[in-house]
Amino acid sequence: KAGVTQTPRYLIKTRGQQVTLSCSPISGHRSVSWYQQTPGQGLQFLFEYFSETQRNKGNFPGRFSGRQFSNSRSEMNVSTLELGDSALYLCASSPGPTGSGNTIYFGEGSWLTVV
Amino acid sequence: GIQVEQSPPDLILQEGANSTLRCNFSDSVNNLQWFHQNPWGQLINLFYIPSGTKQNGRLSATTVATERYSLLYISSSQTTDSGVYFCAVEPADYKLSFGAGTTVTVRA
């Protein structure tokens, strides 16, 4: 069974641009959640999607958005990039939503550098 | 929001040594998970352990939910155990919260 797949793995963007990151969950998993990891703030929850609905959102500005498609694949978008958005963005999937007692499985992440 | 504290922040071990990592949390939680982050950044799930004790090979974990802490034990450490270990808790708002991690270095 294939794991959680994130694309692209590495990317460099310029301040002010926007970026879209993609996440394909494990087959059969309907919940996808996103996290940002930086040296200063550590791992922080961005949002969770289940059955195409955003269930939860972390404390991030509106520049951070996401969506989930009917095949459970998810994308997150960051608009008007700032230097502080440079981070490792991690996606995780699980069979059910948070709170349903499921283990979550992470992808390898997307390394974003904003210059 | 909930506070998650991990200790120690750094741990240097000689191969073969045993160690204990601790995770304290400030409020009741629905569940708790331990992860190991490999050098490439991927988080590998070690344990899903809202309460009680579990063992997997040389690793074991215990969560005492009523006292709001969890322990991860590494026995007979190997160089492949090196990396960052994270504790993550699921509070009432279902927003998974991570500790700052414990960086483990196992020397041959």
HEC assignment per residue over chain A = CCCCEEECCEEEECCCCCEEEEEECCCCCCEEEEEEEECCCEEEEEEEEECCEEEEECCCCCCEEEEECCCCCEEEEECCCCHHHCEEEEEEEECCCCCCCCCCEECCCEEEEEC
Summarised one tens digit per residue, pLDDT across range B9-26 is 999 999 999 999 999 999
Q: What are phi and psi of B50, to 5 degrees?
A: -65, -25
Query: Is a pLDDT exceeding 70 seen at residue A1?
Result: no
The shortest C-alpha distance from A42 to chain B (Å) reads 6
In this predicted structure, the answer to whether residue A114 has a pLDDT above a threshold of 70 is yes
**Mean pLDDT throughout B81-98?**
93
Whether the link from the prior residue into A8 is cis, omega within 30° of 0, is yes
The first and second tokens of residue B102, run together, are: 């414990």
Contact A111 B101 (CB under 8 A): no
Which residues of chain A lie closer than 8 angstroms to B42, CB-CB?
106-109
Q: What is the pLDDT of residues A20-68, one digit of tens each?
A: 999 999 999 999 999 999 998 999 999 999 999 999 999 999 999 999 9
Instruction: Enumerate residues 6+ apart whose C-beta is below 8 A from A45.
Output: A33, A34, A35, A56, A58, B95, B96, B97
Residue labelled with tokens 């919260």: B97
> What count of CB pairs under 8 Å joins A to B?
53
Gap between the terminal Cα atoms of chain B:
40
CA pair distance B64, B66, nearest whole angstrom? 6
Looking at residue A45, its amino acid is: F
User: Are A103 and B48 a contacting pair at CB < 8 A?
Assistant: yes
In this complex, the residue of A58, A109, A111 whose CB is nearest that of residue B95 is A58
pLDDT digits (tens, 9 = 90+) for A95-113: 988 888 888 999 999 999 9
CA atoms of A2 and A114, how far apart (whole Å): 30
Digit-coded pLDDT (tens) for B22-62: 999 999 998 999 999 988 888 999 999 999 999 999 999 99
Task: Specify whether the CB–CB gap between A7 and A20 falls below 8 A.
Answer: no
d(CA B38, CA B48): 18
Looking at residues A68-83, what average pLDDT do you find? 97
The answer for B 13-52 residues in CB contact with A (under 8 A) is 30-31, 33, 35, 40-45, 48
Contact between B48 and A48 using a beta-carbon 8 Å cutoff? no
Q: Which residues of B touch A45 (CB under 8 A)?
A: 95-97
Measured between CA atoms, how close is B61 to chain A, in angstroms? Answer: 15
Closest partner residue to A45 (CB to CB) among B30, B41, B97 is B97
